[in-house]
Amino acid sequence: MTGNYLLNLYHKTLKLPFGRQLFSMMFARKAPYFRTIKPTITELRENFCELTFKHRKSVCNHIGTVHAIALCNGLEMAMGAAAEASIPKHLRWIPKGMNVQYTAKANSDIRITATINPDDWAPGDLSVEVVGYRADDTVVIRGEIIIYVSPKQKP
């Protein structure tokens, strides 16, 4: 096991029945709006997270495609999990900004990835690449989430 609390919890829950769903529900409780998309984290490792969520009425807009805010919730959750699973112990992070482009209709289940360059963990702005795909692997949203990384305060 690594020394990272989130990766340790992830691997521990994977050993349980419905472990991915259990872990995903626990992580989604960190920010209640994550629960609105009912996500499942399918892969979590240092500097990477993948999650999925179902195309269903409660995440759709008036034309039946996944709503932009539901997509952004998925992007932010994947980024947050990747950041928490990766950040060096002496640093902390906070979201600073998000830039996204909607590239195709999101008319199916959604898969989201967040990728961090491991060499970028240093104080200052860090860009996290986030991408959303529909079931046929067409990119429906692409962007970056900027997080501000700073040293932890000494107690």
Query: What is the tens place of the pLDDT at every residue in 97-128?
Result: 999 999 999 999 999 999 999 999 999 999 99
CA distance 79 to 42: 14
Q: Residue 11: what residue type? A: H
Query: pTM for this one?
Result: 0.93
pLDDT at position 153 is 87
Query: What is the tens place of the pLDDT at every residue in 63-74?
Result: 999 999 999 999
Helix (H) or strand (E) holding 44: strand 40-45
Q: Are 105 and 96 in contact (CB under 8 A)?
A: no
Instruction: Average the pLDDT over 50-64 and give the result.
Output: 96
CA distance 101 to 75: 12
Which structural domains are found in the chain, ordered by start?
Answer: 5-151 (3.10.129.10)
Residue 7: which residues within 8 A CB-CB, separation 6 or more? 1, 44, 45, 46, 85
Q: Are 4 and 47 in contact (CB under 8 A)?
A: no
- CA atoms within a 13 Å half-sphere pointing along the CA-CB vector of 88: 12
What sign has the CA pseudo-torsion 37, 42, 45, 47?
Answer: negative
- Report in angstroms the alpha-carbon separations of 101 from 46, 123, 130: 25, 27, 11
Closest CA to 128 of 90, 96, 103: 96
